[in-house]
Structure 1
Amino acid sequence: MVKELIKNEKARALIKKAVEEGIITYEEINEELGDDFPAENIEQLINEMLEQGIKIVDEEQLDELGEDELKGKNSEEDYTDNEEHDDLLEDETDEKLDTDEENEETETFTEFDDEFNPEYIEDVSEDELSNEKLLNLGNSAKVDEPIKMYLREIGQVPLLTHDEEIEYAKKAYEGDEEASKKLIESNLRLVVSIAKKHTNKGLKLLDLIQEGNIGLMKAVEKFEYTKGYKFSTYATWWIRQAITRAIADQGRTIRIPVHMIETINKIKKESRIYLQETGKDASPEILAERLGMEVDKIKAIQEMNQEPISLETPVGSEEDSELGDFVEDQKTTSPYEATNRAILREELDAVLKTLSPREEKVLRYRYGLDDSSPKTLEEVGKIFNVTRERIRQIEVKALRKLRHPSRKKKLEDFKVD
């Protein structure tokens, strides 16, 4: 499965970046690979990175890490053979590699000197999972009562020691449902800790927790205790993936496809970078140049990213008006046009009365003057029990009469679009 990832251009670029910097974010992994590969493939890639000491963190945590940490604690010692990895990634552009070359490249990627060190991974600290943190969140005025009850309940479940975690993970791996349940319950605080970082993105905290719990259960199902690292480190990616996918699918009134959301995030990220570099907002033309996209596409994506707003939104300091009161209905007939049409109908009725009764009825049927439903020559012919040709002759004669200056003058001042 890792071979499939290495052969993909975006995956190669991601691997190269992770190898060179010794650090990568969960968001980058999801954005670059989330749509192109099944979760199992990405999971194995993450396992390889974790085992080889590559730090995987939240995008938000990058700002908190120092320059040395961003480069990786052992970046100079552990990745001295980066040139070898660069050659690997560049050589992969040849699509006609044989099996031996593919195996060699896969082995090259996994050849790191150091073993996996759990302390090297940016993990959720025990302080974040403490009862005090849960109580502080539960006491927030923004948290509903059901969430407060839930937080009090999971706060009573003790955290597992590393030895207990391994013991339960081993039993869960062998199919023990009680052990799986214990692993899940003891890590519910982890879900809350991650979920609260994704609020204000379209989903309520309780929904985020629910989705994160689904990711946690998936992590228990997939966890391999023989790897030797903490379960919480492994579960973090599954929880984040479940939450971010739920936000993408459910967080908007009008759903936007996941691949388009990733493009939107890239544009937002590039806009922030440009703002930090220049102190100015990036125009669509600048973003198009920096991202290698068309200007029209950038504009279309930015327009798509606008949030819907209710027509009932209060407007004004006293909130006595609604937004809908100020939005013009393009399909509504204006008072001027309505009056113009009413006068035209009166004049048209008066002119039609100057024709013979049969001519008047034929024109009314043919042009739908009474019911706005014009009829064909054949349909009108059946009404009068004559041929369609006879109806055509009557219509031509009636229109010729209407073109007479005495009648035409009464209607020529009216123009209807």
Structure 2
Amino acid sequence: MTNEQLIYLFQQGDRQALDTVIEQNKGIVYKLANKFYVEGTNSIDKEDLEQEGFIGLIVAAERYDFNNPNKAKFITYAIHWIYHKINRFINQKNTNGEISVYTPINEDDTTLLDTLEDDKNSYENIENKIYYEELRKELNEVINEYITLREREVLKLHYGWDNSQPMTLQEIGEVFNVASSSITKIKSKAIRKIRSSPWGRKRINEKYKENLSSLEYNVESWIQADSFEKKFKDWLA
């Protein structure tokens, strides 16, 4: 049975279905936990990270929304929660009692580093935050309309959508059991679709107008996939 079929049964009260989901996806949990674990460099046990990963997997099973018309595959949704639980566990584990600049200091996961950087130029940072939040909302609508579910999943995993840890193309390929070259093609095709959408063209045009006074500016370079991809990554940040 697929993950989605099992999750549906679990949400209907079949606890055994959850056991099967855990068994089918334990390899992903081990793989993601291993990304955070470096032997001999801290006091965190790999088993603790794996346990947090399984907690994330269970949370994903409980919260997966079948009524969402733009829902991702369960494994994509689960990866977000697995990363989230492992990352929060590491941030909360502090052997020296010191506060890391990367440790979340409130419920929305704002870090001390975020706060320190905001103090440097708070007005500009607030403006930028609002601007990028609006862009992100627009981008989410474009993604749902113009690219396929698989393309959407690849982009979100690769760029760390929703504060997830970004994954390499090879890692994504392992999740979907395909070659990394196939994932590269999927990602490139998705970027091209977004770039050529009305929204993408509008953003390209805005960038062109912003730089009309610069003789060094070449709009064609910004339209190129690599440049657009960099902006795409910025918008997801």
TM-score (norm 1): 0.24
TM-score (norm 2): 0.40
- Between 1 and 2, higher relative CO (CA 8 Å, sep ≥ 6) is seen in 2
